[in-house]
Amino acid sequence: MMKKLITHASEGVKVPDICGLAIELVNEEISNSTNMSLALIIIDSNASSQQHYHLKTEEIYYILDGEALIEIGGQATRVGKGHSIFIPVGKIHKITNIGKEPLRFISVDSPIFDQDDVFIS
């Protein structure tokens, strides 16, 4: 199978995620990327991710639409469209949709996202 260099959200692989729905756009399976992955995450109104952390992965969230409360290491901050959030390795984090519309954000993970590196706290 030919790996993709360009992927549209409509072609992404939709999977349930601890944050809601993840549409995987770049990972080793789709594009042969071995160092990072990218997904579009969608969280319904009044829903949140499970509080969790990663032992290997650092993440960046970039908010596309909606309003959220992001908690990282016990500190909570309101964020919205245009905000970027860096989540260091080992930091317990949780994101909650506090708006009336779906929260949509991009999640960039490095190294590549691995479900075995998700620890519920």
In-domain check, residue 72: yes
Which pLDDT belongs to residue 70?
A: 98
In a domain, 95, yes or no: yes
The reply to whether 120 falls in a domain is: no
List the domain range (segments joined by +) for residue 59. 13-115
What's the confidence (pLDDT) of residue 1?
Answer: 58
Distance CA 54, CA 77 (A): 20
Domain total of the chain: 1
Asked whether residue 22 is assigned to any structural domain, the reply reads yes
At residue 2, the pLDDT reads 67
Q: What is the pLDDT of residue 14?
A: 92
CATH value at residue 65? 2.60.120.10
- pLDDT value for 19: 77
User: Could you tell me if residue 20 is inside a domain?
Assistant: yes
Domain assignment present for residue 1? The answer is: no
Report residues of the chain scoring pLDDT below 50.
none
pTM over 0.85: yes
pLDDT of res. 12 = 87
